[in-house]
Structure 1
Amino acid sequence: MTGENTFSPSDQAFSANSNLHITIQEGSQNSEQLLENENNDLENDCEQLFEIEGNEPESERDDTSDQLFDIQSNDHENDGGDINEHLFEIEGNDHESSRDDRTIIDYQNGGSQEKAYPPPVVGLEFDSYDDAYNYYNCYAKELGFAIRVKSSWTKRNSKEKRGAVLCCNCEGFKTIKDANSRKKETRTGCLAMIRLRLVESNRWRVDEVKLEHNHLFDPERAQNSKSHKRMDSGAKRKMEPTVDVEVRTIKLYRTPVVDAVGYGSSNSNEGETNNHVDRSKRLKLKNGDARAIYKYFCRVQLTDPNFFYVIDLNDEGYSRNVFWIDSRSRAAYNYFGDVVSFETTCLSNNYEIPLVAFVGVNHHGQTILLGCGLLADETLETYIWLFRAWLTCMSGRPPQTIITNQCKAMQSALAEVFPRAHHRLSSSHVMQSILENMGAIQEYEAFQMILSRTVYDSIKVDEFELAWEHMIQRFGIRDHEFIQTLYDDREQWVPVYSKDTFFAVMPNFQKGESTNPFFDGYVHQQTSLEEFLDVYDVVLEKKRQEEARNDFESRELTPMLRTRCYYELQLSKFYTKDVFIKFQDEVVMMSSCFSITQVHTNGPIVTYMIKEREGEEIMRDNNRNFEVMYDKAGAEVRCMCSCFNLNGYLCRHALCILNYNGVEEIPFQYILSRWRKDFKRLYVPDLGSNNVDITNPVQWFDHLYRRAMQVVQEGMISQDHYMVSWQAFKESLNKVRLVADKHV
């Protein structure tokens, strides 16, 4: 539409819907021609691919939504006393035809008796179109401007109105044919408007709002406008929007039309009511942030039908927490969801944006994004809501290991939502916090070196306990409260206690390494939310280009070998470049291992002691002993350093024992598929099941849609992939039509 600079999902939903007809009541010829051409193109494209029934009842379209999850959330009432349970029913329809899914929020009546007309906000509802029109007209009259109907939508083959845009009378400019008219120019291109839509409850909801005018108000001229002259006594009564303070049930659909941040009481004592609102329970946003979030979500959903997001509202209807994830991240979790790091750097350090991120590791050892959130606080209730939303989005499959920083509320939430997952604290984060808290200690450099050796070089629990005791005695920190607290939690962050936990080469548990936040270099202390959303897609695209480049180099380039050991040559054919380099270091370090001694035999299981020469003095000796068990029957090997359990590739000690026993190739069970260069994966989440009820048409649609989307994603890889996919679609459609012809 002309004059519309801001995207609205309703534009797409109405114009692309074959059941709706758009009529322009007031507008330029250019806008009419543009809409007519757009609808013709859409209808022609659809007719070429599919046969669509044009008169399908709208109720049938709405009933195809599949419920994704129900989340129980506890919210405090205004008086801060009782706790109410709020049911978040997240219903999503992953089908392309459901672009007009929307958020429904049910409120109890608040009995508003205000005398003034409050400004319109997204989410206000009215019993009829006339009520909505009269409300906006009265609001405009009080401010001193006039309104008109810019456009309206009616259902095809029916005169029933389905939507409308009411705009300021100064919207747009003169048309070409009126340019030479002697009539005074009154239009200034003003963008002030509201968009209305008829929703399932047969109420009219405000779908979009623009309050800013680019001209001065003229009450005298507005008084004589057509819209105000047509006001009769019945229309002059104050129209009460059906918005209330207390939220009971919130239903969030895939494409929310409610700007949750804009909600509030429409009572005349609004200022008084807001004084009692606990602002700590609200997401801290600046002017324009809410609209930026809303526009971004709507824009992404047009190109990514599997994009998912949830907004958590407090009792007053203000947004409290937000979570979102795109389809590529949801698909990546199916392959790389074994280890997840939960980043809270921005939230914990009081950044401008309270950003949190779920981060995983792909087959190159490169961090990948698995979801983002904006949180109002760091309370137990907030973390439970976020983790449940994320888990439900991932089809209820928790990670094997989740790594976080130190936060008691977060740990309690993890124990409740992920009871079977291994929860570990980031060793690098804990070490950094220790050094920051002990900055005033004497012999700081010596303390730093001994602490690192104690934490990272201990290969047995008893060894760590003795080294820790020696450290706290030497530096006199036995009674230090912070050190004692960390010691009590040692099983969650000291590597020697996590030998059976897989970390997928996460640098959080590697000596001398630390992981940078996923958005490091793009998000700073003062970065605004709008600035973040502007670079969000840029960051993801750079990460994906880096992954594509690593895929190409791993497939096409042959790594340079550093030894004559066949183990190195063997895995150079399987592993990606970056992971192979880490394994290659282990092969090179085999030369430092010597003096293999058999110390115990139990049937086919033999225990060896292998010495390793190290470059620096540790535990009063340059040599260290490592115990390695080898099962001759099953060709299984395990070293006490647990390198394979931690990182997913064998250590130098295990390789020496395999070589000592004449094993020419690394056994297949020690070549993880997640590190392979030929690793095949899809970029759309497989949310369905192959078990389809053949009597249920809804399940037919779900199953076919998800499988078709996988073909679409694969078809976007290259031009050749596109041509093959397009040919397959045409052949499939012809075969389906032949089946239909047989039943005629």
Structure 2
Amino acid sequence: MSQVEPAAAGADRAGEGAVMPHDEGVGGGGGGDVATTEAQVAVVVSTSGDERRVEYGDDADNEGEEAATVQGSKEGTEELLRKVLYSEEAAYKLYCDYGHRMGFSIRKGKQTYFTGTKRIRTKDYFCSKEGLKEGEKLTDANFNDPHTRTNCRAMVRFRVNDHGEWKVIRLVSDHNHNLARPEERHLLRSARSLIAGRSSSVDAMVYAGYQVHDGAPQLPAGSTSAANNVENSKQHLLLGYGTMAKMLAVGTGDLQSLVSYLKGRANEDGMFYWDVQLDQSGRMTNFFWRDGRSRIDYDCFSDVVVFDSTYRLSKQNLICAPFVGVNHHWQTTMYGCALLADESMSAFVWLFKSFLESMGNRHPQSIFTNLDQVVSKAIEDVFPDTCHRIAHWHIQKNAHSRLGAHNVSKVFNKMFTKCIQGCDSETEFEETWAQMIHEFKLQDNKWLKKLYKLKKKWCSALNKCTFDGGVEYEPQCDSMNNIFNSVADKSTSLSAIAVAVDKLSEDWREKELEEDTRCLQKPPACIIKHSDILNHAAKVYTHRIYKLFETDFLDGCGATKFKELPCEDNNTHQFEMTMQGRGSRVCTVRLNMSTMEISCSCSKFETMGLLCSHALKALTIKNICKIPESYILKRWTKDVKKWVFNPKQCESSYQECMNDDAAYCNYVMRYAYDLVTKSQGQEELRKALWETLENGEKELEKYLGNGKHDVPNQRMDLPVVLFLWSERHVFVARGSILK
């Protein structure tokens, strides 16, 4: 980065009164106020370190002057330099807004006073990473930590003239650290006060039935000009909700308002999907919908789906049935939702087929549901190759009503929970179940008899080869359980239910974005700083998944006894592992050093996709300092979406994409949708995308016009526009072509 002179240097002109820093108190005696000229001279330090004096004012001719900026907009810098303000608060908000546009947070700096007065003469504001904390050392690991100062020199200085006008006299625009991406900027600390300033106005307009995009340029009295530019990453959501609020009044009944709402969503979201089932009389009975982002998430995390049909809307006597899953941060993510008139076989079959169609007919590996025979039969019909599991939380919930006084017994609860998820083998499960039935005299309990017949659908010991993504573990099951109760209780119409479901989905996605930002800014903190395998895990896994991995690694290294067993093959090593404090349970680990294949009898990798403490202990014993590549499940990594959207990451996918028209269209449409959703909340990004599309279209037309249809294998640097028309939607994508 360029060398920038200190912000204080060269800022004051000779002949003006003495200046006292704010922390030294108010100056006394001596000089007085000195009049400033009408023209404003701003010192701008560019990314190359060059300093230039840019003159602005009533009598100044500024045409052709360019404000220097780094990774930001020329327009934003020009506005900052030209603006005339009349209060310290307005100056602070202006630089906050500028920082939000550029992607950095700010902090207040020192101020100086005219001698003998308490009137501010100059005021500095800095990038939040200005300076260094006492005793803190900069490293590659902490440099982009949002809480680490990097001695960044970016700053602005305002001067106040005799008329109380605040004008910029110095701007250092160069940063020595990464700036926040557009979709992350609303998370910046100094932007949050601006966001709060707008939310109440937006809410008022939404509830009043106004569209937000109509009202945004002319916010009600009391709104700040800076507020017009904040929280852009959420603006597309607010735009949609403004339209939604008006739609609720359209139509005379619940069904009509729901249909109006779904049609409106489809108009706003090119990949939005909704379906309705009609009865024999042509009446609408069942609805299903999902938005485009749900399709993108399902493409990444379709291995596990949780379907819950236990939420009933008391007013309409309908079932609200969500499809949810688990993302790479081990958070709940939405795949879609249904409103069902009944729990018939035909209703569930229709719903599952509609869900599959909306997801490109990609079947999940596992699907978890409540205990329902009709649902189970429908899954067998529609998902024949998917492992159907009954959710543990649903069994535990029903046990309270089915087992009466036995629920009070701690001994019974311990044995019952062990049968569900604490047994290591089928033999152990059978012994524990028989003991529980005998001790508590439950031989005639019909519910337990029915449950036992379905044991292969819920007993963990009998599903060691089935991936579940940890949906049955705490705290994940709490997130899955009763997530829609508040939605169902508070909503009074079908359209309001749909709005609430979509709002819940957006809340989850906001949490995902926060985790994505954390992962981008810094790696997770390793307890053992110089452990190669932990550093490898921190590099590839998301923060939450890394912490799960780290816990198992520490258990393996510090709390596991082992015994190596002889093997006939010199490349294979076998160990018996015993965890301290967990009884005499033994797990067997086999490690092949030539193929780097490893397996453990606990089967954690098969069910969770992470190596267990026993396997990590074996790797440590044999001085293996990296996670074998085949045991890094892509769905838990930071870059999972890059793998899904870029077929070149996988040779087989790339060949399929290039050789099959349908596969090619699918890949490009998903990529296009991702680009559109990233850009729609920011005006600058929209302009950039349109410019890219226009330039790409010209290139494409030029090649088509020259008759260059056979393209040799040489990559072209310019972006290309691909317009893909389907029966219902138009998709745009940015990519590269070969020439």
Q: TM-score, normalised by structure 2?
A: 0.56
Match for residue 596 of structure 1? 562
Alpha-carbon distance in structure 1 between the residues aligned to 2:554 and 2:658 = 50
Alpha-carbon distance in structure 2 between the residues aligned to 1:655 and 1:447 = 34
Match for residue 585 of structure 2? 624
The answer to whether structure 1 residue 412 and structure 2 residue 373 are counterparts is no
The answer to whether structure 1 residue 680 and structure 2 residue 641 are counterparts is yes
Alpha-carbon distance in structure 2 between the residues aligned to 1:392 and 1:442 = 43
Match for residue 427 of structure 1? 392
Deviation of the 1:693 alpha carbon: 9.0
Greater shift, 703-712 or 578-587, is seen at 703-712
Match for residue 537 of structure 2? 571
Q: Which has the higher helix share?
A: 2
Alpha-carbon distance in structure 2 between the residues aligned to 1:651 and 1:423 = 24
Match of 1:439 among 383, 404, 410: 404
The answer to whether structure 1 residue 735 and structure 2 residue 699 are counterparts is yes
Match for residue 363 of structure 1? 328
Question: Which amino acid letter does the alignment assign opposite residue 678 of structure 1?
Answer: D
Alpha-carbon distance in structure 2 between the residues aligned to 1:729 and 1:511 = 42
- After superposition, the Cα gap between the structure-2 partners of 1:628 and 1:352, relative to the gap in structure 1 and judged at 3 Å, is same
Deviation of the 1:301 alpha carbon: 1.5
Deviation of the 1:364 alpha carbon: 0.6
Match for residue 658 of structure 1? 619
Q: Secondary structure at the match of 1:614?
A: coil
Match for residue 631 of structure 2? 670
Deviations 1:541-592 (A, max 9, x none): 2222111111001221332222354322221111111111222221222245
Alpha-carbon distance in structure 2 between the residues aligned to 1:742 and 1:591 = 65
Match of 1:494 among 455, 459, 465: 459
Greater shift, 665-674 or 408-417, is seen at 665-674
Question: Contact 1:606–1:631 at 8 Å: present in 2 too?
Answer: yes
Q: Secondary structure at the match of 2:545?
A: helix
The answer to whether structure 1 residue 581 and structure 2 residue 550 are counterparts is no
Deviations 1:585-641 (A, max 9, x none): 2122224534311235242433321111126xxxxxx34322222222211221211
Q: TM-score, normalised by structure 1?
A: 0.55
Match for residue 611 of structure 1? 578
- After superposition, the Cα gap between the structure-2 partners of 1:566 and 1:521, relative to the gap in structure 1 and judged at 3 Å, is farther
Question: Contact 1:310–1:389 at 8 Å: present in 2 too?
Answer: yes
Match for residue 330 of structure 1? 295
Alpha-carbon distance in structure 2 between the residues aligned to 1:682 and 1:625 = 37
Deviations 1:232-268 (A, max 9, x none): xxxxxxxxxxxxxxxxxxxxxxxxxxxxxxxxxxxxx
Question: Contact 1:598–1:607 at 8 Å: present in 2 too?
Answer: yes
Matching of residues 61-72 of structure 1 within 5 Å: none
Question: Contact 2:305–2:324 at 8 Å: present in 1 too?
Answer: yes
Match for residue 456 of structure 1? 421
Alpha-carbon distance in structure 2 between the residues aligned to 1:736 and 1:558 = 41
Match for residue 102 of structure 1? none
Match of 2:347 among 370, 379, 382: 382
Alpha-carbon distance in structure 2 between the residues aligned to 1:655 and 1:527 = 52
Q: Secondary structure at the match of 2:276?
A: strand
Deviation of the 1:470 alpha carbon: 1.2
Deviation of the 1:307 alpha carbon: 1.1
Alpha-carbon distance in structure 1 between the residues aligned to 2:668 and 2:356 = 25
Question: Contact 1:684–1:709 at 8 Å: present in 2 too?
Answer: no
Question: Which amino acid letter does the alignment assign opposite residue 676 of structure 2?
Answer: V
Greater shift, 731-740 or 648-657, is seen at 731-740
**Higher relative contact order, structure no. (Cα contacts within 8 Å, ≥ 6 residues apart):** 1
Q: Compute the RMSD of aligned alpha carbons.
A: 3.5
Alpha-carbon distance in structure 1 between the residues aligned to 2:408 and 2:506 = 46
Question: Contact 2:645–2:667 at 8 Å: present in 1 too?
Answer: no
Deviations 1:650-694 (A, max 9, x none): 111111111112212111111111111233359999999846899
Question: Contact 1:398–1:421 at 8 Å: present in 2 too?
Answer: yes
Alpha-carbon distance in structure 1 between the residues aligned to 2:646 and 2:279 = 31
Deviation of the 1:424 alpha carbon: 0.7
Question: Contact 2:306–2:323 at 8 Å: present in 1 too?
Answer: yes
Deviation of the 1:383 alpha carbon: 0.8
Match for residue 520 of structure 2? 555
Deviations 1:419-451 (A, max 9, x none): 011111112211222233112238622211222
**How many pairs were matched up?**
450
- After superposition, the Cα gap between the structure-2 partners of 1:349 and 1:579, relative to the gap in structure 1 and judged at 3 Å, is farther
Q: Which runs of 5+ in 2 are unaligned?
A: 1-250, 648-652, 708-739
Match for residue 187 of structure 1? none
Alpha-carbon distance in structure 1 between the residues aligned to 2:325 and 2:286 = 22
Question: Contact 2:519–2:542 at 8 Å: present in 1 too?
Answer: yes
Alpha-carbon distance in structure 2 between the residues aligned to 1:297 and 1:526 = 17
Alpha-carbon distance in structure 1 between the residues aligned to 2:664 and 2:521 = 41
Question: Contact 1:593–1:613 at 8 Å: present in 2 too?
Answer: yes
Question: Contact 1:426–1:493 at 8 Å: present in 2 too?
Answer: yes
Q: Secondary structure at the match of 2:567?
A: strand
Q: Which runs of 5+ in 1 are unaligned?
A: 1-285, 616-621
Matching of residues 520-559 of structure 1 within 5 Å: 520-524=485-489, 527-559=492-524
